[in-house]
């Protein structure tokens, strides 16, 4: 399947070939898995202690203490990378029980312990679904557990059936099963470029090989080539594709913001072509500087915040130029869920794909 990826897509051979996995991704009997790098183990222990409750709920302390499918998926993936099966099982049990209410293989996106009911909106968030499926597929391989692979396949098939469409010659990933298609919005379909979790797709293709994951990858890459706005030529958090040329979606801030910050990170983690990453290399000439959200409407850039956000430009400098990750980003810091998660993910991705940067 992935050989077909080399022959398709508007960005050409080099950009798409760069997303081919360079390590084993097959789900099935696992070779002896290496223990996590000490820096990964230390950061994981800190993250688990601050954000994972005893019942397996991941707490977003920067968002009024809610939980969401994204956080559960990140937590499950990080538990695999931390070789922590007991925590993984707690996370998966909570995710399946509290968010797996839809009955179609996807997960309600938000859980609020202070609300009644705790899940008021059963719509999904497709990046959360993908992260959960990816984590299960990786867990199946690491711990030789076929049941996890079967669960991953159910989710992957539901994503393809309920949240993937063809539009304008591209295979697209909708942000949710409901609310973003052309029938739902005047400017629809609307997509979120950061929901293409590029390093996850090889694992999903292994558990659900009957689907054309290569076309979905190519559609996301093609969008990133044309959906560039502002002087820095960056993608927006939310992108409208209805009625002509792509443009920032109505009703959302027109900016490269907290969502789209993950786009270059996922591309670099997947081994994406450096040409796709050039706008961010130009933007972050000093990878030690604090990154900012970049509005496209003349408003001033807004600093993302805590130090963990620096992990994205630092990881990009690692991927593109072999620059080691700064020592302070390899140590725990007292910061909220999202920057702490980016920090740990960057160290995990560096250990996996660019170990010299550690």
Q: How far apart are CA 339 and CA 212, in angstroms?
A: 33
Between 174 and 36, residue with greater pLDDT: 174
Of 52-56, 87-91, 116-120, 286-290, which gets the smallest average pLDDT?
Answer: 286-290
Query: Residue 24 pLDDT more than 60?
Result: no
User: Residue 131's pLDDT band (boundaries 50, 70, 90)?
Assistant: very high
Query: Residue 21 pLDDT more than 90?
Result: no
Active-site residue, from 124, 127, 129, 187: 127
- Calculate helix-pair angle for 262-269, 337-353, nearest 10 degrees: 20
pLDDT at 319: 96
Query: Residue 167 pLDDT more than 50?
Result: yes
Query: Residue 25 pLDDT more than 50?
Result: no
Joined together, the tokens standing for residue 114 give 């202070």
Between 183 and 11, residue with greater pLDDT: 183
Active-site residue, from 70, 124, 187, 306: 70
Q: How far apart are CA 76 and CA 56, in angstroms?
A: 10
Query: Residue 112 pLDDT more than 90?
Result: yes
User: Residue 181's pLDDT band (boundaries 50, 70, 90)?
Assistant: very high
Q: How far apart are CA 310 and CA 101, in angstroms?
A: 36
Mean pLDDT (whole number) for 99-111:
98
Nearest to 238, CA basis, from 248, 251, 226? 248
Nearest to 236, CA basis, from 279, 289, 181, 274? 279
84 labelled catalytic: no
Mean pLDDT (whole number) for 18-28:
35
70 labelled catalytic: yes
Say if residues 168 and 241 touch (Cβ distance below 8 Å). yes
Joined together, the tokens standing for residue 320 give 């593109």
Say which CATH topology domain 2-353 has: Glycosyltransferase (1.50.10)
pTM (two decimals): 0.92
pLDDT > 90 fraction of the chain, expressed in percent and rounded: 88
Looking at every residue in the chain, the average pLDDT score rounds to: 91
CA 100 to chain centre: 20
Q: How far apart are CA 329 and CA 320, in angstroms?
A: 18
Query: Residue 272 pLDDT more than 90?
Result: no
């Amino acid at each position: 399947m992935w050989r077909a990826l080399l022959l398709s897509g508007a960005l050409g051979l080099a950009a798409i070939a760069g997303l081919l996995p360079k390590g084993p991704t097959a789900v099935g009997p696992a070779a002896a898995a290496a223990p996590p790098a000490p820096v990964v183990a230390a950061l994981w222990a800190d993250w688990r202690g601050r954000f994972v409750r005893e019942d397996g709920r991941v707490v977003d302390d920067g968002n009024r203490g809610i939980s969401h499918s994204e956080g559960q998926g990140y937590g499950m993936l990080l538990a695999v990378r931390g070789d922590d099966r007991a925590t993984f099982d707690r996370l998966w049990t909570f995710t399946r029980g509290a968010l797996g209410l839809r009955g179609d293989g996807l997960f309600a996106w938000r859980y609020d312990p202070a609300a009644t009911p705790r899940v008021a909106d059963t719509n999904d968030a497709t990046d959360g679904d993908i992260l959960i499926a990816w984590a299960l597929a990786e867990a199946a391989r690491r711990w030789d557990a076929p049941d996890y692979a079967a669960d991953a396949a159910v989710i992957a098939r539901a994503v393809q059936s309920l949240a993937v469409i063809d539009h304008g010659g591209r295979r697209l990933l909708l942000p949710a099963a409901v609310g973003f298609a052309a029938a739902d919005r005047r400017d629809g379909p609307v997509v979120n470029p950061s929901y293409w979790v590029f390093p996850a797709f090889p694992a999903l293709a292994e558990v659900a090989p009957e689907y054309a994951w290569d076309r979905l990858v190519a559609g996301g890459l093609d969008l990133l080539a044309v959906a560039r706005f502002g002087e820095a030529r960056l993608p927006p958090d939310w992108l409208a594709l209805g009625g002509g040329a792509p443009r920032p979606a109505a009703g959302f801030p027109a900016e490269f913001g907290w969502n789209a910050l993950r786009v270059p990170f996922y591309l670099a983690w997947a081994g994406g072509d450096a040409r796709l990453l050039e706008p961010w290399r130009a933007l972050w000439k000093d990878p030690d500087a604090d990154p900012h959200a970049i509005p496209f409407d003349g408003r001033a850039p807004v600093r993302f915040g805590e130090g963990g956000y620096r992990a994205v430009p630092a990881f990009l400098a690692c991927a593109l130029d072999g620059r080691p990750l700064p020592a302070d980003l390899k140590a725990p810091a007292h910061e909220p869920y999202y920057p702490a998660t980016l920090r740990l993910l960057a160290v995990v991705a560096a250990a996996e794909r660019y170990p010299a940067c550690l």
